[in-house]
Homo-oligomer: A and B are copies of this chain.
Amino acid sequence: MNDALFPTQADLQSHPVLSDLDAEFQQAMLERARVFTPARDDILFHAGDPVEWFFLCRSGQLKLYRLSPEGNEKIIALIGPGSSFAEAAVFMDSGTYPVNCTALQPSVLIAFDAEHFREGLRHSPDACFRLIGKLSQRLRNRVGDIEALSLQNAQLRVINYLMRLNHEQGDQASFRLPSSKKHIAGLLAIQPETLSRVFAQLQDAGILRVKGSEIEVLDRDRLKRAAEGQELTA
């Protein structure tokens, strides 16, 4: 992984929205871009801060999250290498970030200038289209999250999350959790204790083997059936 202290063409190319744009626009974005290297627990922005940058993660890991007045935290998304975020914030009426962002690991981020992006988009229908596609997809994902929170219990949310993860990593028999269990619990809107218990159940039922952050799928059929039919007693 390239840890250069300046943004490169390669960063642009790997960005889901900025890749394949006309040279002039790319050049303008690149000139105004910065590399940020937050340490673990560094806060990049708070919800409500005015939007100056949007980001591409080159390496490391971050969380986007909301806090309740009592200090409870709901993780909206975990960000890893290759993911971009906060593009939508650039276009919100309020002009502010809707979530907090904190580094979970020492990370390397490319920060692109929000205002320049807005301006450049006016002259690039291609980039507009990419962005619209990205936003629509993200909207669909959020609707999926809302359904999961409203209609599924803790066990079901965990199972579906595991199956999605496993699928993204190529449906291997064995795969890794992308983060600590505490943060995964935050993402699924359950307590770490509950996540631990669900893992224990699935393990006792002979469906999974959990060893640290390594998950081995022992019985894919029953896992899939559990995701629909709701059955763990068998």
CB-defined contacts of A131 to chain B, threshold 8 Å = 132
Secondary structure at chain A's binding surface: helix, strand, loop or mixed?
A: helix
CB-defined contacts of A149 to chain B, threshold 8 Å = 146, 149-150, 189
Our pick among B74, B93, B94 for the contact of A147 (Cβ within 8 Å) is B74
Assuming the A-B contacts A122-B129, A125-B128, are A72 and B139 also in contact, with contact meaning beta carbons closer than 8 angstroms in the complex? Answer: no
8 Å CB interface, A47-97 against B: 66-69, 72, 74, 76, 88-94
Q: A136-160 vs B: 1/0 string, CB under 8 Å? A: 1111101111110111100000000
* Number of A positions contacting B (CB below 8 A): 43
Closest B-chain residue to A93, C-beta based? B137
- Could you tell me if A136 and B99 are in contact, using CB atoms closer than 8 angstroms? no
Is A98 an interface residue, CB under 8 A from the partner? yes
Q: CA–CA, A223 to B135, complex, Å? A: 35
- Could you tell me if B140 and A92 are in contact, using CB atoms closer than 8 angstroms? yes
8 Å CB interface, A142-180 against B: 142-147, 149-152
Closest B-chain residue to A138, C-beta based? B139
- Could you tell me if B132 and A135 are in contact, using CB atoms closer than 8 angstroms? yes
> Could you list 5 examples of A-B contacts with CB < 8 Å?
A68-B147, A92-B133, A131-B132, A149-B189, A150-B189
